[in-house]
């Protein structure tokens, strides 16, 4: 884990770990996703799919109409920010350099190591489990948005709804995708809490060469 | 959905309505009701009002986006009789017992606004329009959905018959239960928008909107007014019972 040859060394002993575009879209996404999830919970409470409701204090909007206003306003921020991130990821080479290669065996080995408390840290480089998690959550968010479109416009976008099992099927997919994103966020934040020195670089983009670890 | 409904005790009507209003007021005062959210900490009433303004203008923006997405030739999915939801849920801003009892013999549909022939219509005359049926999914703004069968006259046929200005922007509705709403002309002219007189092959019971309900399978339930007493055509935004409180006006499906 001492191999830091891949990371760009800066003159003052700090290296660049998170490009500006990634930091901007990350924090914008924090705002948009929070608004979507907390208002979505209030919308869910109006007609619960399952035998539980979200605690009222954890919801956004005050009442169904307010929550819908938040949801349908924040969705634009979420969508355009996500689009900017994807375009950057594909065309600026960010995905290729950060997420590839992504070999299933490497992910599995890394995962087993992590369970035994041996997490590989290499500053500026994501380990295999991280790569899988980030690529996975990107796919889940895409499913979240598509199912959301199917619920929002089950007639105009009925082709998408049909793929997801119709309007009611799309509601279930939307809920399942939200749950996965919420779990991702939980683990992601826990990892940062365990390795706090990963937090500041997400703001400044830079990390001390001596510090190691990618956290969540 | 709050697609209009019947009405029993006015007292209940008032209370449900007040609760919603109270919720909105609390929303404004306490700001967002997400106690734990640090996003907008320390926001006072002024900040909450500013947030409200942004949210309302986003909702107006979403009206325009939905109007642009709306395809007059795109039909809502239809279902077989076996898919019909039984019993079909009642929904309104009051309880089922409070549904208005409209007198069939004396009923007359009032017409107003940009309409050439504003003569009120009796039920017999309405029943003499060409009739058709549809089995479609009713989707409530709350999220639940139910499939039902409605029969009646294509709304477009009716609008043409009365000489409505089909180039106008809005068609508005006033209902016997004091509910009111309005829709865009494009949706009014959609082939599946039905002036429905029957539900499940029976004359609409009071709970489902006697004497008539506007069935719009391309809009959420609360945009399907029941117990319609008057129809008017206008270019001035008429709003609606729930729309004025914050539900999105277009609310297309």
* Position A79 confidence tier, pLDDT thresholds 50, 70, 90: very high
Q: How far apart are CA B8 and CA A51, in angstroms?
A: 30
Q: Find where tokens 């309405």 sit.
A: B126
Q: Does residue B35 sit at the A interface (CB-CB below 8 Å)?
A: yes
Q: Residues A148, A129: one domain?
A: yes
Q: Facing residues of B139 across strands?
A: B145
Distance spanning both ends of chain B, measured CA to CA: 13
Is pLDDT at A158 greater than 70 in this prediction?
yes
Which of B222, B243, B191 lies closest to B71 in space, CA to CA? B191
Domain that holds residue A26: 17-92
Radius of gyration of chain B measured on its C-alpha atoms? 19
User: Any idea which residue has 């009002």 for tokens?
Assistant: B49
| Predicted structure pTM score | 0.84
- Which tokens in the block code for residue B116? 């050439």
Same domain, A139 and A45: no
Domains of chain B, start order? 10-245 (3.90.420.10)
Residue among B22, B32, B252 with most chain A CBs within 10 A, to mutate: B32
| Alpha carbon distance A126, A132 (integer Å) | 10
Residue B23 is predicted with a pLDDT of: 54
* Strand partners of residue B199: B150, B202
Same-domain pairing of A123 and A86:
no
Size of interface A-B (CB pairs under 8 A): 108
Give the E-state strand segments of chain B in sequence order.
108-113, 121-122, 132-139, 145-154, 170-175, 180-184, 194-199, 202-203, 213-215, 228-234
B24 touches chain A (CB under 8 A): yes
Strands B202-203 and B170-175, by their bridges, are unpaired
For chain A, say whether B89 makes contact (Cβ under 8 Å): no
Structure-model confidence comparison of residues B178 and A98, the more confident one: B178
pLDDT of res. B28: 46
Selected residue with higher pLDDT from B27 and A196? A196
Using a CB–CB cutoff of 8 Å, tell me whether B69 touches chain A.
Answer: yes
Are residues A61 and A122 located together in one domain of the fold?
A: no
Q: Which of A69-83, A160-174, A187-201, B20-34 has the lowest mean pLDDT?
A: B20-34
Give the nearest partner residue to A153 out of B26, B27, B69, using CB atoms: B69
Sequence-distant (≥ 6) Cβ neighbours of residue B192 within 8 angstroms: B75, B76, B134, B136, B216, B217, B218
* Nearest-angstrom CA–CA distance, A182 and A187: 9
Q: How far apart are CA A61 and CA B55, in angstroms?
A: 10
Contact A128, A109 (CB under 8 A): yes
Instruction: Read off the tokens for A153.
Output: 């416009």
Q: Is residue A131 a part of any domain in this protein?
A: yes
- What's the pLDDT at B221? 95
Shortest Cα–Cα distance, A39 to chain B (Å): 9
Helix (H, G, I), strand (E, B) or coil at B196: strand
How does pLDDT run along chain B (253 residues), one tens digit per residue?
A: 444 444 334 444 444 445 555 555 455 444 455 544 444 555 555 577 888 899 999 999 999 999 999 999 999 999 999 999 999 988 888 888 888 899 999 999 999 999 999 999 999 999 999 999 999 999 999 999 999 999 999 999 999 999 999 999 999 999 999 999 999 999 999 999 999 999 999 999 988 999 999 999 999 999 999 999 999 999 999 999 999 999 999 999 9
pLDDT at A4: 38
> For the residues A124-140, what does the mean pLDDT come to?
86
Q: What percentage of chain A reaches a pLDDT higher than 90? A: 58
Chain B residues within 8 A of A35 when measuring between CB atoms: 39
Q: Are A61 and A110 members of one domain?
A: no
Confidence of residue A197 (pLDDT cuts 50, 70, 90): confident
Chain A CB contacts of B69 under 8 Å are: 153, 156
When pLDDT is cut at 50, 70 and 90, the band that residue A137 belongs to is very high
Q: Is B146 exposed, middle or buried (0-12, 13-18, 19+ CB in 10 A)?
A: middle
From the CB of residue A65, how many other CB atoms can be counted at a distance below 10 Å? 23
Minimal CA separation from B59 to chain A, in Å: 7
Q: How many domains does chain A have?
A: 2
CA angle centred on B33, ends B29 and B36, rounded to 5°: 130
Same domain, A139 and A188: yes
All residues of chain B having their beta carbon less than 8 Å from the beta carbon of residue A60 are 32-34, 37
Cα B152 to Cα B129: distance, rounded to the nearest angstrom: 8
Residue in A31, A63, A154 nearest the CB of B20: A63
**Token digits for B248?**
């999105």
Q: What is the pLDDT of residue A191?
A: 87
- A12-34 mean pLDDT: 89
For A150, nearest residue in chain B (alpha carbons): B253
* Residue A120's pLDDT band (cuts 50, 70, 90): low
Encoded tokens for A114: 């992590």
> How far is residue B116's CA from residue B109's CA, in Å, rounded to a whole number?
15
Residues forming beta bridges with residue A29, ordered by sequence position: none
Q: Which alpha helices (H) appear in B118-251, and where do they start and end?
A: 123-127, 155-161, 185-188
Q: Is the pLDDT of residue A16 over 60?
A: yes
Question: Which of A56-65, A88-97, A147-156 is most confident?
Answer: A147-156
Task: Please give the ipTM for the structure prediction.
Answer: 0.83
- How many other CB atoms sit within 10 Å of the CB of residue A30? 13
Residue of B nearest to A45 (CA): B142
Same domain (yes/no): A197, A113? yes
* Choice among A6-10, A114-118, A196-200, B170-174 with the minimum mean pLDDT: A6-10
Among A32, A59, A92, where does a domain finish? A92
The distance from CA A133 to its chain's CA centroid, rounded to whole angstroms, is: 9
Question: Residues B93, B13: contact at Cβ < 8 Å?
Answer: yes
pLDDT at B43: 52
**A120 and A47 inside one domain:** no
Q: What angle do CA B191, B196, B197 make, to 5 degrees?
A: 150
In a domain, A25, yes or no: yes
Alpha helices in chain B (DSSP H): 10-30, 45-69, 123-127, 155-161, 185-188
Closest approach of B241 to chain A, Cα-based (Å): 12
Q: Are residues A163 and A72 in the same domain?
A: no
Residue that is last in its domain, among A92, A115, A143: A92
Bigger pLDDT: B84 vs A111 = B84
Please report the pLDDT score of residue A112 as a whole number: 79
What is the pLDDT, as a whole number, of residue B33? 52
Contact B92, B7 (CB under 8 A): yes
Whether A87 and A109 share a structural domain: no
Nearest Cα residue to A165 out of B85, B77, B87, B222? B77
């Amino acid at each position: 884990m001492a191999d830091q040859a891949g990371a760009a060394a800066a003159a003052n002993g700090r290296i660049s770990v998170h490009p500006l575009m990634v930091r901007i879209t990350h924090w914008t996404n924090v705002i948009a996703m929070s608004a979507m999830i907390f208002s979505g919970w209030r919308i869910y409470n109006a007609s619960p799919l399952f035998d539980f409701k979200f605690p009222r204090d954890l919801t956004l909007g005050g009442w169904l109409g307010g929550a819908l206003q938040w949801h349908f306003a924040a969705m634009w921020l979420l969508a355009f920010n996500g689009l900017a991130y994807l375009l950057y990821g594909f065309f600026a080479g960010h995905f290729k350099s950060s997420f590839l290669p992504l070999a299933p065996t490497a992910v599995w080995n890394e995962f087993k190591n992590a369970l035994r408390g041996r997490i590989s840290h290499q500053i500026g480089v994501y380990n295999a489990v991280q790569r899988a998690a980030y690529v996975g959550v990107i796919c889940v968010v895409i499913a979240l948005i598509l199912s959301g479109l199917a619920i929002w416009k089950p007639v105009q976008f009925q082709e998408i709804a049909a793929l997801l099992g119709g309007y009611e099927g799309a509601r279930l997919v939307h809920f399942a995708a939200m749950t996965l994103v919420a779990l991702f966020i939980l683990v992601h934040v826990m990892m940062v809490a365990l390795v706090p020195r990963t937090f500041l670089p997400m703001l400044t983009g830079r990390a001390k060469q001596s510090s190691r670890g990618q956290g969540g | 959905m709050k697609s209009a409904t019947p009405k029993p005790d006015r007292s209940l009507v008032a209370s449900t309505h007040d609760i919603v209003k109270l919720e909105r007021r609390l929303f404004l005062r306490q700001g967002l009701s997400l106690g734990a959210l640090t996003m907008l900490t320390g926001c006072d009433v002024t900040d909450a009002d500013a947030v409200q303004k942004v949210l309302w203008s986003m909702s107006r923006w979403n009206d325009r986006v939905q109007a642009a997405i709306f395809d007059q030739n795109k039909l809502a999915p239809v279902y077989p009789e076996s898919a019909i939801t039984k019993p079909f849920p009642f929904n309104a801003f009051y309880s089922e017992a409070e549904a208005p009892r409209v007198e069939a013999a004396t009923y007359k549909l009032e017409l107003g606004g940009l309409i050439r022939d504003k003569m009120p219509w009796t039920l017999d005359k309405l029943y003499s329009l060409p009739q058709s049926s549809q089995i479609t999914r009713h989707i409530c703004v709350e999220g639940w959905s139910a499939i039902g069968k409605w029969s009646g006259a294509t709304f477009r046929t009716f609008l043409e018959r009365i000489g409505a200005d089909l180039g106008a922007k809005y068609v508005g509705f006033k209902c016997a239960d004091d509910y009111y709403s309005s829709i865009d002309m494009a949706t009014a002219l959609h082939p599946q928008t039905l002036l429905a007189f029957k539900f499940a092959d029976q004359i609409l019971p009071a709970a489902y909107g006697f004497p008539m309900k506007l069935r719009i399978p391309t809009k959420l339930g609360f945009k399907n007014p029941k117990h319609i007493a008057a129809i008017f055509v206008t270019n001035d935004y008429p709003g609606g019972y729930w729309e004025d409180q914050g539900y999105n006006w277009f609310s297309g499906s």
